[in-house]
Amino acid sequence: MVTDKIIIKGNKEGLNVVINMNHFSDFDDMLESLIEKLAQGRKFYKGSTLKITTELKYINERESRKLKEVLFDEFLISDCIFQNTEESTTKVFTGIYEGKTKFLRKTIRSGQSINYPGNVVIIGDVNPGAEIYATGNIIVMGNLRGLAHAGTNGNEKAIIAAVKLEPQILQIASIVTRSPEDEIKPQYPEVAKIKNGNIIVEPYLPNKYI
């Protein structure tokens, strides 16, 4: 019997779930095994931080979203981080789903600051006075009204996206902009990116940024 398909071990940041995708026939096979293993200590994982370490090249965006939904909804974790098994900490992020990703399921309030060497996905709002820094991309599944700085390592391909984009300060790499105070805010998700040396904001279009 293979015992190293899924290994769960504690560390100072929380719990690290190491998944060896080579031992599974497909994503659904892995997910079924993961649910079975986590179910043995279901109450223990409530409110905890889980780091998922695996070969991310074998998990697409839809599967990644499904995995997050299971962890949040069935095991009530508070935070989820994806890390590639073979990833270098000095890697430059060039895509929205590439590299380490930190998931926060909460509202970031005034005075709070998030700084992460990877992508940051916030399922909640970013209030005025809050600050988000990421070497990768910043995705807010809610209102973004604070400071957001993506590509802090100089990555000009990073993007910032939000359901409602109303930042006090928006920065990608070394390019900084402010949200016009008197501008009518659109009622659809938007994406900010660098184009021709300037930050532009455009409507989010499915599949365009994958």
> Around 147, how many Cα atoms within 13 Å sit in the side-chain half-sphere?
15
Q: What's the CA gap between 21 and 33, in Å, rounded?
A: 11
Give the Cα separation of 139 and 42 in Å (integer).
28
Higher confidence at residue 16 or residue 99? 16
What separation in angstroms does the CA of 138 have from each of 34, 119, 154, 167, 200? 28, 6, 14, 12, 15
Question: Does residue 86 surpass a pLDDT of 90?
Answer: no
What's the pLDDT at 79?
78
Q: Which residues pair with 14 in a beta bridge?
A: 11
The pLDDT of residue 51: 84
**What pLDDT was estimated at residue 91?**
44
The answer to whether the pTM exceeds 0.95 is: no
Residue 89: what pLDDT? 41
User: Is 34 in contact with 17 (CB distance < 8 Å)?
Assistant: yes
Q: What is the pLDDT of residue 164?
A: 93
- Does 132 or 97 have the greater pLDDT score? 132
pLDDT tens track for 135-194: 899 999 999 999 999 999 888 899 999 999 999 999 999 999 987 665 667 778 999 999
Checking if the pLDDT of 126 tops 50, the result is yes
Q: What does the buried/exposed string (b/e) look like for 145-161 if buried means 16 or more CB atoms within 10 Å of the residue's CB?
A: bbbbbbbbeebebbbbb
% of the chain at pLDDT higher than 70: 85
pLDDT for the residue numbered 1: 34
Distance in angstroms (rounded) separating the CA atoms of residues 71 and 49: 10
pLDDT(96) > 70: no
Please give the average per-residue pLDDT across 72-82, as a whole number. 84
Average pLDDT across the chain, whole number = 83
